[in-house]
Structure 1
């Protein structure tokens, strides 16, 4: 809850931050929608691939937990990705009864180019900030992500 005693400058900054955050959220969603379409995927499928790329092979339960999806919908998601050739199911290395999902890297090899412009632009943007500023930005992003994840879990729980 905001105090009624905040300065006009802070009030303006908080309003601008809210608008900028919403604009950023919109362009991120639109970018990933465009990437997903280029890959022949739905948005959730593209984000599941991102999880697998960042974290390595995961079980269906791991994907459900990290993506905030219902376990039943993850089975269909994995089926679709497997049919399209993006992932494969394999046996766990320590527990052969356990099934893990891994990326079929041969299939996604050409799609890295879709991110080249974004990565180059962000690299240039980061170069303009000091290490201390980058630490502050990183702290903000991690905390905003934590808050967003909690809000998503609340919505999933109230469905």
Structure 2
């Protein structure tokens, strides 16, 4: 007899893929809500907060670089950077070797205020990872990496 969440003619793979899609939807929603809550504590929206994360991970970037990494349209990135600059999180600086280009740099002092909001979450993640073997974590890393690339491509298609 099939369980309540199973359909009688489903294969194990199709059932697992359906469950993965449902769990992914839940995880995505939770992630958006978490980042929205963190951002709101600093007067930001989730896109602004995630842009700061990109700058922290990649270092100073051009607006074009940010458009490529986020999948946002260039005009949207310009508005985004204007807001972040007004709020004191970033500043624009001349590129050191190409004076025609402008780099977006983080205000590290202002970013430190955001980092404090992630400390509890980071402890929770480390604790949760104790439930998984190193090989299982490697599989999760590979899966999330593939899904990130697919998500980035999907965002680019929607904004392009």
The answer to whether TM tops 0.5 is yes
5+ residue gaps in structure 1?
1-5
SS in 2 for 1:73: helix
1:33 maps to which residue?
A: 36
1:49 maps to which residue?
A: 52
- Stretch moving more, 23-32 or 36-45: 36-45
Tell me if structure 1 keeps the 8 A contact 2:72–2:156. Answer: no
Q: Output the TM-score relative to the length of structure 1.
A: 0.89
Aligned with residue 92 of structure 1, among 90, 95, 106: 95
Q: Distance in 2 between matches of 1:68 and 1:153?
A: 4
| Residues 70-120 of structure 1 deviation map (CA, whole Å, 9 limit, x = unaligned) | 111111111111111000111112223321001001122222111111110
Q: Distance in 2 between matches of 1:156 and 1:79?
A: 19
- The aligned length equals 152
The alpha carbon displacement at 1:31 in A equals 0.4
5+ residue gaps in structure 2?
1-8
1:103 corresponds to 2:103: no
Aligned with residue 155 of structure 1, among 140, 152, 158: 158
1:24 maps to which residue?
A: 27
RMSD between aligned residues: 1.5
Q: Distance in 1 between matches of 2:35 and 2:14?
A: 32
The alpha carbon displacement at 1:11 in A equals 2.8
Write out the 4+ residue segments of structure 1 that deviate beyond 3 Å after TM superposition: none
Q: Distance in 1 between matches of 2:152 and 2:77?
A: 18
1:9 maps to which residue?
A: 12
Aligned with residue 126 of structure 1, among 112, 129, 136: 129
Structure number with the bigger relative contact order (C-alpha 8 A, sep ≥ 6) is 2
